[in-house]
Amino acid sequence: MAITSFNLVTKGKQSGPASSLLKSFVFSPAPRWGIRHLQVLFLFTAGTLIVAQRMNMSVAIVALTNANSSNPSYPEYYLTEKEKSYTLSSPFWGSCLTQLMSGYLSSRFGAKLLLLVIMVVTSLISIATPMVLAWGGWQLLFGVRFVQGLVMGGMWPCLYTHLAKWCPKREANRLGGVMATGLDVGTILGFAMSGILAASPLGWPSSFYIPGYFGIVWSLFWIRYGANTPSESKFISLAERKHIELALEKAQGNKGGDSPPVPWLQILTSPPFIVLALCKMSQACSFYTLMQQIPRYIHGIFRYSIAVNALFSALPFVVMLMSSYGFIFLTEYLTRNKEISLPILRKTINSFASWIPAVALVTLSYVSEKNVVGSMCCMVAAVAAISGQAIGSSLNHVDLSPNFAGLLFGISNTLMSAAGVVSPIVIGLTVTNESDRSQWRVVFLGISVILFVGNLMYVIFGQMTVQAWNGSKPPAETTPQTESPPEEEVPVEKFNYF
């Protein structure tokens, strides 16, 4: 049986129960790669698969309503523009209703079981989607996608709850940024894979089957290797477990035990959180509009085939994925080498992620419809810049309250999902002719204004410190122990464990 060693040092008295002594140890650095990274990989792939299952409809709806644009061997269905808008928005209707509940449940009981149920149910619904459309038309499809949205909505808070349980604060920007890019990859696959599969011999139904089957496989691995906390994992080393636990204990200023009661009134009346939620809602208006409407915009203005449409629709999100990792590396470099304060870092990156898309959408509104390259550059710039919001504002939920990060994200993402509901409906009423650039201009200019105002509020009023209602005092405010004066660190011989 393999034996692993690590160094320990103690501070102060070397007496008391073994458990108390263990907590007083300062452990050597945890392994560079460990189970915490595996958990982030699970969160990354969960986001990828669930977003792909939601976004595949954006391209598939073009194929299933126009068989000649893809594979004519598969059935075609007639949908009006309003029916298309309702179909695209249906998952967001459901997501609005479960964000808060999921945030509460995951914060109180952990995210493992909840994520498992979410992935299994959404995957089965994705596999059943083509049959649902054949049996009940768009009305039944709307109902089933609504239920799928109900279940999907629980994923977002779970991701941040699980991240907060596994991620030391000094690694939050890097690991949280990697987790968030799973949503970008899911959007890319939802667009590109759906278009390619729709034009293939497998036809448009396969764009629902394949992500569904992969979701079932993910669930099997999650049952085996997922864990709510480091202490529950069967595979983590003792060094890595204590590294995470001590780092989280220091950041949160508590000593473990039962979860504190939810301070609902303080949360809902907290100015920093209200500003954060409104900022996230403004970003959702732009992001969800671009995710849902780029295929329709390209089809209406440029009239490309489904395969070309899908690739062009995915291109902005490919660049977004690359820029996401650029933001991660830049943030890591700045925080380690330039000593930039967290508020300046968050607000600067979030300004880039909000105001650059606003300028790009204004420019897109006035680019000639014959200028394909210029139009695509504007869409690429708008989507790529949005990637910075993961570090600029999404991780701010963890900054404000590590104990209730999932709950906070559940509340703000409820508002974001509401934007996902309203956006396609408003666009369906505004854009009655997909080929009319003047109608699209109204949409893009409106989103630009919302983005500008939302980020301006965040820059002025946003905060990046643990709030008093988190349930424990921040580390800086914790009363120092007075049992004995600080003593010089005493080396302890290496411990061996199996």
Which residue, among 64, 411, 377, 75, has the nearest Cα to 269 in the 3D structure? Answer: 411
Q: What number of CA atoms fall less than 13 Å from residue 352's CA on the CB side?
A: 17
DSSP 8-state class, residue 435: T
Highest mean pLDDT range out of 170-174, 211-215, 302-306? 211-215
Q: With a cut of 90, say whether residue 359 has pLDDT above it.
A: yes
- With 0-12 / 13-18 / 19 or more C-beta atoms within 10 angstroms meaning exposed / middle / buried, residue 269 is exposed
- Domain assignments of the chain as residue spans, ordered by start: 34-254+265-471
**Quick check: 95 and 157 in contact, CB under 8 A?**
no
What distance in Å separates the CA atoms of residue 140 and residue 124, rounded to the nearest whole number?
A: 16
Q: What angle do CA 368, 373, 376 make, to 5 degrees?
A: 90
Contacting residues for 119 by C-beta, under 8 A, at least 6 apart: 46, 49, 50, 215, 218, 219, 222
High-pLDDT (> 70) share of the chain, %: 86
The pLDDT value recorded for residue 479 is 40
Band the pLDDT of 290: cuts 50, 70, 90.
Answer: confident
Confidence of residue 69 (pLDDT cuts 50, 70, 90): low
Helix (H, G, I), strand (E, B) or coil at 133: helix
DSSP 336: I
How far, CA to CA in Å, does 403 sit from each of 109, 365, 469? Answer: 12, 43, 10
- Cα distance between residue 209 and residue 53, in whole Å: 9
Q: Which of 464, 395, 402 is nearest to 175 (CA)?
A: 395
Which pLDDT belongs to residue 253? 53
Q: What is the average pLDDT across 410-427?
A: 79
Tell me which CATH homologous superfamily contains domain 34-254+265-471.
MFS general substrate transporter like domains (1.20.1250.20)
Q: 127-150: per-residue pLDDT in tens? A: 999 999 999 888 999 999 999 989
**What would the two tokens of residue 86 be?**
């309702």
Phi, psi of 402 (to 5 degrees): -60, -35
Give the number of other Cβ atoms within 10 Å of residue 409's Cβ: 32
What is the rounded distance in angstroms from the CA atom of residue 408 to the CA atom of residue 156? Answer: 11
Q: How would residue 260 be classed by pLDDT, with cut points 50, 70 and 90?
A: low
Lowest mean pLDDT among 28-32, 61-65, 231-235: 28-32
* Residue 427 in tokens: 């666009």
Q: Mean pLDDT across the chain, nearest whole number?
A: 79
- For residue 245, the number of C-alpha atoms closer than 13 Å in the C-beta half-sphere is 22
Nearest residue to 164 via CA among 380, 328, 404: 404
Task: With a cut of 70, say whether residue 18 has pLDDT above it.
Answer: no
Q: Residue 190 above 70 pLDDT?
A: yes
User: Token digits for 163?
Assistant: 């991240």
State the pLDDT at residue 275: 93
